[in-house]
Amino acid sequence: MLDADFFRRWMTATAASVNREAQRLTALDAAIGDADHGSNLQRGFTAVLAGLEKEAPDTPGAVLTLAGRRLISTVGGASGPLYGTLLRRAGKALGDGAEVSEEQLAQALRAGVDGVMALGGAALGDKTMIDALSPAVDALADGFPAARSAAEEGAVATVPLQARKGRASYLGERSIGHQDPGATSSALLIAALEEAAAG
């Protein structure tokens, strides 16, 4: 079972890897967007950690709901409301139990991904974060390492795609040949689950 501390470790590990990879995320966004994805997420996850410190939520659902709210309120770019919706929806779906199962987590993240798709209108193959998140959530039934691989493969698979949502879509065919920044950061988020599970 996964408790509030697991979810705190998940957010902490995500913030750390976003900080490590911020330059790479921004470079990817420079190629097909406006070069702010790394700094957007650094600002967002720094605010998530500060919020967790300040409010000390004590259930898995409350940790994710708070994280989602913080992302929405601190990240101006598209990724803020989208990641915020992912985590807030997932947090709501987890309810207020003190512990949740991995299966409940998988179902909650599926609800979160559905929320992102409803908000942003992106489907699988549109070269967005959905291309990493959706296969990762499907693979969660096979464990965190399987989800991590699926997310990383999904992010790499965005390279030959033409963007149909977000800023990159303004480039039309010129978006082909570049890895989507949001799918790349989604792979970091999913990889951090494995770190959280390691303790």
Chain residues that interact with ligand ADP, rule: CB under 6 A: 29, 33-34, 36-37, 40, 77-79, 82, 116, 120-122, 128-130, 165-167, 180-183
At closest approach, how far in Å is the CB of 77 from Mg ion? 4
At closest approach, how far in Å is the CB of 142 from ligand ADP? 24
> Which of Mg ion, ligand ADP, none lies near 129, with the C-beta cut-off 5 to 8 A by kind?
ligand ADP
Q: Please give the torsion angle defined by the CA atoms of residues 102, 103, 107 and 108, in that order, rounded to the nearest 10 degrees.
A: -30
Nearer to ligand ADP, 2 or 117 (CB): 117
Nearer to ligand ADP, 2 or 47 (CB): 47
CA distances from 24 to 32, 44, 128, 156, 181 (A): 13, 17, 17, 14, 9
CA dist 28 and 22 (Å) reads: 10
At closest approach, how far in Å is the CB of 169 from ligand ADP? 8
Nearer to ligand ADP, 50 or 118 (CB): 118
> Which of ligand ADP, Mg ion, none lies near 183, with the C-beta cut-off 5 to 8 A by kind?
ligand ADP
Identify whether the C-beta of residue 136 lies closer than 8 Å to the C-beta of residue 147.
yes
Query: CB nearest ligand ADP: which residue?
Result: 182
The distance from CA 127 to its chain's CA centroid, rounded to whole angstroms, is: 15
At closest approach, how far in Å is the CB of 118 from Mg ion? 21
Collapsing DSSP states into helix, strand and coil, what is residue 86? helix
Residues contacting residue 51 through CB under 8 Å, at least 6 positions apart? 66, 67, 69, 70
> Which of Mg ion, ligand ADP, none lies near 165, with the C-beta cut-off 5 to 8 A by kind?
ligand ADP
Residues that bind Mg ion (CB under 5 A): 29, 33-34, 36-37, 77
At closest approach, how far in Å is the CB of 40 from ligand ADP? 4
- 129: tokens are 């974060």
Nearer to Mg ion, 17 or 185 (CB): 185
Backbone angles phi, psi at 2, to 5 degrees: -110, 125
Collapsing DSSP states into helix, strand and coil, what is residue 163? coil
